[in-house]
Amino acid sequence: MRYTTVGRTGLEVSALGLGCNNFGMRIDQAAASRVVGAALDCGITLFDTADIYAGGRSEEILGKALGARRDDVVLATKFGGAIAPGPYGGGSSRRHVIRACEAGLRRLGTDHIDLYFQHYPDPRTPIEETLAALDDLVRAGKIRYAAASNLAAWQLADAVHTSRARGTVGFAAVQLEWNLLSRAAEHEAIPAAAHFGVGVIPYFPLASGLLTGKYRREEGFPEGSRLAALPYFASVATDANFAVVERLRTLAENTGRTMTGLALSWLVAQPTVASVLVGATSAEQVAGNAAALEDPSPELLADVTEAAAGHPG
């Protein structure tokens, strides 16, 4: 396993991180513990969850699965999503940030969170209020670093300038949807992160499984697969995306690699990327993803980029 630091911090994380959104939704405690154990065995140190995953069960399951290994990992979770109905069930106000952190610590069974992410931008709350609350949590020792998710480039720039002007903690990392089928972040958000020294942590790197090659245009979704189980994600299975998948399949076959390896290695090789979050429902998936990671040559990276862009050849 490769390791790198997050943005301009000294926080070291594994090149692959474990996304734990399946915990409590698709797998139970026993299965999640096997997944976490396999991740630790592979050298994975970044474990990412959120308070809205399975109504908080993901945090509880992850905390129990880590157990005595808690201090061997970088534990990340998120706040801001709606965890309850009504005006006080979500958002990024000081009131909610503090309460969400306290609740997350209880569910995770820990005294601190290493990376605490604002899950979504909150148009109702000034960013200076959110950053001041996060700064207080850092000073209190309840979180180590603040981070954000799903920000537009201008929102990231606004947060950076606000934190610098007010002398508060800033965002060390940003989570964005980024994979070979979803490239919109490359237009503005990724360059902004690079400019400000904010580490990028891509999620959905395998496009809900489409980039593994297990789905084919002419076949239905396999029973038990993510696209079959969660129709929300099935929108990725377009003709245009299948055309890219078929080109990548050909490239993988011609180079003796797996599609999973190409997709993950391409992301890990991007200079702004700190870690790539990959979900899993079995220990075998974790081990397979870790084994597929490699250091691709510049020529192979160019070929992957070309295949994903749809250029001839």
Q: How far apart are CA 309 and CA 182, in angstroms?
A: 11
Q: Which residues, at least 6 apart from 174, have a Cβ–Cβ distance to it below 8 Å? A: 147, 148, 149, 151, 156, 189, 193, 198, 199, 200, 201
Q: How far apart are CA 118 and CA 100, in angstroms?
A: 11
Instruction: For residue range 215-266, list pLDDT tens digits in order.
Output: 876 666 666 555 555 555 567 778 889 999 999 999 999 999 999 999 999 9
Instruction: For residue range 264-309, list pLDDT tens digits in order.
Output: 999 999 999 999 999 999 999 999 999 999 999 999 999 999 999 8
Reply yes or no on domain 3-245+260-296 having CATH 3.20.20.100: yes
pLDDT at 213: 87
pLDDT at 215: 80
User: Which tokens is 266 given?
Assistant: 């391409």
User: Which tokens is 270 given?
Assistant: 């991007």
Q: Report the alpha-carbon angle 250-254-256, nearest 5.
A: 115
Q: How far apart are CA 95 and CA 37, in angstroms?
A: 36
Instruction: For residue range 148-168, list pLDDT tens digits in order.
Output: 999 999 999 999 999 999 999
Q: Which entry of 3, 53, 145, 203 is annotated as an active-site residue?
A: 53
pLDDT at 267: 98
Instruction: For residue range 114-152, list pLDDT tens digits in order.
Output: 999 999 999 999 999 999 999 999 999 999 999 999 999
Nearest residue to 54 (alpha-carbon basis) of 89, 23, 32, 77: 23
| pTM score of the predicted model | 0.93
Answer yes or no: are the C-beta atoms of 227 and 233 closer than 8 Å: yes
For the question of residue 53 being annotated catalytic, the response is yes
Listed in sequence order, the DSSP H helices in 83-126 are 94-108
Boundaries of every domain in the chain: 3-245+260-296
In the chain, the amino acid numbered 154 is: W
Q: Which residues, at least 6 apart from 207, have a Cβ–Cβ distance to it below 8 Å? A: 179, 180, 181, 182, 236, 241, 263
